[in-house]
Amino acid sequence: MGNLIILGSQWGDEGKGKLVDLLAEQFDFIVRFQGGHNAGHTILIGDRKFVLKLIPSGILRPGKIAVIGNGLVIDPVALFAEIDQLTQVGVDAQARLRISNRAHVLLPAHRAMEKRIAIGTTSRGIGPCYEDKAARRGLRVADLIDPQRFVEHFDALAKEHEAMLTAFGIEPDYDLDEVRSQYLDLGARMRPMVCDTALLLNRAIRDGKKVLFEGAQATMLDLDHGTYPFVTSSSASAGGACTGSGVAPTLIGGIIGVAKAYITRVGGGPFPTEMLGEEGEEIRRRGNEFGSVTGRPRRCGWFDAPLLRYTATINHFDTLVITKLDVLDHLDRIPICTEYHGLDEMPALCGVLGGIDPVYECLPGWQTDTSQVKSWDGLPPAARRYIDYLEKQCEVEVGCISMGPERNQTIVKPGSNFEKLTV
Ligand code: GDP
């Protein structure tokens, strides 16, 4: 078994958190490589629900090291809120978390600046923090943990932010002196967890340790490959795992894509297979499709195979995990989009994608509860046919199926790449 990357293959919220939690057992390090506390994985263990935004889901597995890689932007206030929450339920997060000294630090000014962006973002300041990173004026964790450097850098950056906020006509909703002193305290608290995580991971791999890369968001939200400008501000596809962690592509043993048995999207942007009306409402209700970070209702649609073929190409998935199959248990027929009429590639322009005509194939539903099924052969024949059809349409094997939020509501297909990659 090699080092694995787990990625969202749609518009996010595919259930990556559950899969990472499930697989983490077999790995030594679990690494987040992009995004910030705008992500949000929900993991259900028994009757306990954990929503992790910045800290890799692997932290819930005792003894595992969770790494926040260089590709992230970190709001220290949000980070410590999460650490404290985990500590309260007995998870020794602080002892098992390592933070890259090259990750960027998110400030209240970034949040204030996001007020001018209207594409349905989470308003956490993630985009403006990445803007500072790209503009090469950002404040990094290495600065934050050095009090003198921090004060100099913070004060200089605050002047630039003030000028920008004035230009945007935005009134700052924070007190600079309070922020400076709060961040100095949090920097001191963070210091014992900070290191060169690229070095840590590369040494660990050299010594035979195994690393699991935990994607947040998804390829259709990737800054380069997603439905720009309705995207996140980081690299949420396979390449991002390498740049965001400092681990080379040649050290990656496999790439697993996660897709829902249908599809959802939060916020604005084109959505060819969106179900408007009662059908969409029903899926939203059954799938509990409300954002884990913002609580916003997610837009729901039928499985989009052309989209999956596109994200499979970008990431070269070895195998697909289909989640939330149980959410479709009630349907007597299930449409699947097999192509975009007259188009044989993913259009670069949102206007074109928004106007396409999806071509559907309808498969019979199974109208049976799948949530307790324990094996591939135990699935209703119509559910197996649905999965086989998705596999054929996506041109990637489906190696694992999830029919509920619990760890044991998961089926691995015997002989699949998924089995080979994870055993
Ligand atoms: P992530 O960001 O990709 O990890 O996805 P989220 O955590 O935002 O959303 C996944 C949600 O679906 C969580 O509440 C999970 O507990 C839940 N979930 C995961 N897999 C399944 C499944 O197979 N069936 C059902 N019904 N819920 C699932």
41 is catalytic: yes
Measured in Å, residue 216 CA sits from the centre of ligand 1 at 13
CATH 1.10.300.10 holds for 103-192: yes
CATH number of 259-422: 3.90.170.10
What six digits make up the tokens of 257? 């894509």
For the chain, the residue count is 423
The domain segmentation of the chain, as residue ranges, is: 103-192, 259-422
Tell the residue number behind the tokens 């000014």, with chain if given: 109
Equal fold, 103-192 vs 259-422: no
Ligand 1: residues with CB < 6 A are: 8, 13-18, 40-42, 44, 292, 323-324, 326-327, 402-405
Which residue among 13, 28, 143, 304 is the active-site one? 13
What is d(CA 4, CA 212) in angstroms, rounded to the nearest whole number? 5
Top mutation candidate among 324, 327, 379, 407 for ligand 1, by most atoms within 8 Å of CB: 324
Phi then psi for residue 120, to 5 deg, are 80, 35
Which residue among 21, 28, 37, 41 is the active-site one? 41
pLDDT tens-digit profile, the chain (423 residues)? 799 999 999 999 999 988 998 999 999 999 999 999 987 777 777 777 878 899 998 898 899 999 999 999 999 999 999 999 899 888 899 999 999 999 999 999 999 998 776 655 667 899 999 999 999 999 999 999 999 999 999 999 999 999 999 998 999 889 999 999 999 999 999 999 999 999 999 999 999 999 999 999 999 999 999 999 999 999 999 999 999 999 999 999 999 999 999 999 998 899 999 999 898 999 999 999 997 667 789 999 999 999 999 999 999 999 999 999 999 999 999 999 999 999 999 999 999 999 999 999 999 999 999 999 999 999 999 999 999 999 999 999 999 999 999 989 999 999 999 999 998
Orientation angle between helical segments 176-190 and 147-168, nearest 10 degrees:
140
Could you report how far apart the first and last alpha carbons of the chain are, in Å? 6
Which are the contacts of 9, defined by CB distance < 8 A and separation ≥ 6?
A: 218, 219, 257, 258, 259, 308, 311, 312, 315, 317, 320
Whether 16 and 321 have beta carbons less than 8 Å apart is answered as no
Whether 55 and 68 have beta carbons less than 8 Å apart is answered as yes
75 is catalytic: no
